[in-house]
Amino acid sequence: MLSVIIATFNPSELILEALASVRDQQHLLSCGSLEIVVVDDGSTDPASLALLDGIAAEGIAVLHQPNRGLSSARNAGIRAARAPILLPLDDDNRLLAPYLRSGVPLLLEHPELAGVYGDRQDFGIDNGVRRIGALTLPELCSMNRIDACALIRREWWERCGGYDESLTALEDWDLWLGILRRGGVLHHLPELCFAYRTRPGSMVRRLYDQPARLAELHRVLSAKHGLQLGVARQEFSASITLPDCRTWLDLSAYGRYGDGAMAQGPTR
């Protein structure tokens, strides 16, 4: 019923914390089974490879592929997974209870939803709570506010062609925009759904330390989706229509194309 996908590259023992967090919540999934798929994206460190062998020996599916990047690793894990509901989890983060306790039943009860995203607990060098909320379209276009750690209906991953393997970052933002462009509905679950480890040298921190690279990624995604990203307010191109989904997205004050609520692993 639910597949948790963990992409990794030269993992440390932090991946064991991620796996334990999934297992700790497994009993909350009352409507089906849970599987974990770990995808090794070309690890070379002997200690990391030994760690992955140990994980496989415990009965967890571990796939190995040449180093192709995060999008490719996630796509490979999803193709190998069996469940209709997907949950990517970074190898240094931790899953909390609400996605299994509340998010999965919500998707099963409401087939009109393409995905469910929640709030996050930060820990590490920064500590705090990130309340994401039901996002307006301009807010989603101004920056990526929905983490990759969200419940996704497999059919919507397929409709969007999976994660774009040509992107070196922001592949999750690209997927959310692709879902919305195709009329999908993303629902906000107002609970702390996962714990996000903040640390120096992370993918996100490296990206925002490279403004030229970030601007180029914005340009690529803007062209792909027919909108301009990274600014305060946006309109979709005239070829795009938004679903009438006030109940699930708490829509308010439509603009021309809908000014209502809408609703990252290392680069190798």
Residue at 26 is within a domain: yes
Residue at 145 is within a domain: yes
Residue at 104 is within a domain: yes
* H-run or E-run covering 105: helix 104-109
pTM here is: 0.83
Q: Which domain holds residue 240?
A: 2-262
- Tally the residues of the chain: 268
d(CA 244, CA 185): 9
Res 14 pLDDT > 70: yes
Residue at 257 is within a domain: yes
How many domains is the chain partitioned into structurally?
1
The share of the chain scoring above pLDDT 90, in percent, equals 63
Classify 175 as helix, strand or coil. helix
pLDDT of amino acid 136 = 66
Residue at 267 is within a domain: no
Residues 34-46: pLDDT tens digits? Answer: 999 999 999 999 9
Q: What is the mean pLDDT of residues 10-17?
A: 97
* Contact of 142 with 230, CB cutoff 8 Å: yes
Please report, for the domain that includes residue 187, its CATH number: 3.90.550.10
pLDDT of amino acid 205 = 63
Residues 200-243: pLDDT tens digits? Answer: 766 666 666 668 877 888 889 999 988 778 753 333 333 333 33
